[in-house]
Amino acid sequence: MSSYNIQIDVLPQYVADQSDPLQKIFAFVYTVTVTNTGMVPAQLISRHWLIQDESGRSDEVKGLGVVGQQPLLRPGESFQYTSGCRLHAPSGTMRGSYFFVAEDGHRFDAPIDTFVLESSNSGMAGRTLH
């Protein structure tokens, strides 16, 4: 087991009542579970997201913390939060990373695998791409 290891699981969901397909607004929420599977306590400092919809439009989001928090995770601890985004097409993808600083001063990025945002019932919703 690595001293610095973070597991990130994402569950996206389409939000029909906050979407307006005629205006090309497609709302999604995603629940993220961040688990410290390493051996050293580490604090989530910042986030970096790359969001792309199927029309090719892309957004980059950077900022401190997640939902206004910078949780310190001891080995085995998890932090879960829900956030959202809007696309201008019925489907797209998100990927990114979280920047952590471990209690011993080591700095590292924890990658977030690409996941699909899908407004239809195509069966791709929630699937992680590798």
Domain boundaries, the chain: 6-118
1 confidence band (pLDDT: 50, 70, 90): low
pLDDT in tens, 5-14: 999 999 999 9
Q: What pLDDT does 120 receive? A: 80
Query: Does domain 6-118 match CATH 2.60.40.1470?
Result: yes
Q: Report how far residue 3's alpha carbon sits from residue 106's, in angstroms, rounded to the nearest whole number.
A: 10
Residue scoring higher pLDDT (73 or 1): 73
Judged against a pLDDT cut of 70, whether residue 122 lies above it is answered with no
Least confident of 22-26, 49-53, 121-125: 121-125
Chain segment 74-96, per-residue pLDDT in tens: 999 999 999 999 999 999 999 99
State the first-to-last Cα distance of the chain, in angstroms, to the nearest integer.
Answer: 22
**Cβ contact 68:4 at 8 Å:** no
